[in-house]
Amino acid sequence: MIDKIRQAFRERRYEYSLHAVDQSILRYILSKEVEEVIDNGEIIEDYPEDKYGSSCLIYGTTIQGRSLHIQCSYPSRPKIKIITLYQPDPKDWIDYKKRREEKK
């Protein structure tokens, strides 16, 4: 799946949701960084039953070493939709790849 997502990005067949545009501005995440993360990232979670369509969460790092998470749709449509993106909080993630268990 990640190879198909990478191919779509290389061909510029992706778009941002309004939410993702807002988040990229608020969090100072550049399109170049998104492309870098997709290029070297890995799928860490799948959401096949997501209410807006099947999607996945990708973790990767930018050339500058910034860790990012990008949730995007599966490549089942002409364009991949970037749903949200953020810098993961180490309090919530183990090595930015696995969610920490919630304390009760």
pLDDT (tens place) for every residue of the chain, 104 residues total = 999 999 999 999 999 999 999 999 999 999 999 999 999 999 999 999 988 789 999 999 999 999 999 999 998 889 999 999 999 999 999 999 999 987 66
pLDDT for the residue 101: 84
Task: List b or e across 62-101, with b for residues whose CB sees 16 or more CB atoms inside 10 angstroms.
Answer: beeeebbbbbbbbbeeeebbbbbbbebeeeebeebeeeee
Question: What pLDDT was estimated at residue 76?
Answer: 86
